Amino acid sequence: MADDPNAPQAIRKLQPGKLVIASHNPGKVREIRALLAPYGIEPVSAADLDLPEPEETGTTFIANAELKAMQAADLSGLPALADDSGLCVDALLGEPGIFSARWAGPDKDFDMAMGAVWQQVEAKGEGASRSAHFVCALALAWPDGHVEGFEGRVDGNLVWPPRGLNGFGYDAMFEPLGHDVTFGEMNPDAKYAMSHRADAFAKFVAAVF
């Protein structure tokens, strides 16, 4: 009997060895290195290889992650893992979303970005929701163009002023549901265990190892 053309494709397994982390963000690279540590993978960052940062022209998190992973795999000749993530604020109809990094400007000033988010939420009035969530999309690409995608999420609320010096990006203004500390105040290991990146990474690990 012929194969069903509509059947899902088998996910390609990742073998031990070098894997490019297709990011120039030291915080993301640090988190992903920690998450990969148990799996016999040798992470090397795009920055270490002097790979360029592609323009993120996708309209979704997963599209941008795939774009970054595929370019890094093509240029390096190695499998590459890319992350695209951001903060989605209910009161701002999901913004900054895929533009989370751009809100920080060319100097990656996330203090400025957090201030801009909070200012816009406050402009909605006292009754505006403080609910928000982080999304993380992971894409794993091979030099031959094969790519797999995984997405994770964590829900919480915005706080002001920002609290904590751990983490990066918008972590200091995000308090995950069920906790009374921000990601910026959390021990990194505690954050790694329950973040949007951990959620996406668990799906990635279950599929490719």
Tokens of 124: 């909605």
Identify residue 201 by its one-letter amino acid code.
F
144 is catalytic: no
Closest CA to 32 of 150, 147, 163: 150
What is the CB-side half-sphere exposure of residue 161 using CA atoms within 13 A? 4
Q: Which of 4, 48, 84, 109 is catalytic?
A: 84
| C-alpha–C-alpha distance, residues 198 and 165, integer Å | 20
Peptide bond into 176 cis (omega under 30): no
Q: Beta strands 131-141 and 80-89: pairing type?
A: antiparallel
Closest CA to 195 of 140, 115, 138: 138
Tokens of 194: 């329950």
Burial 114-133 (b: 16+ CB within 10 A, else e): bbebbebbeeeeeebebebb
Helix axes 196-208, 26-36, angle to 10 degrees: 40
Which residues are known to be catalytic?
Answer: 84
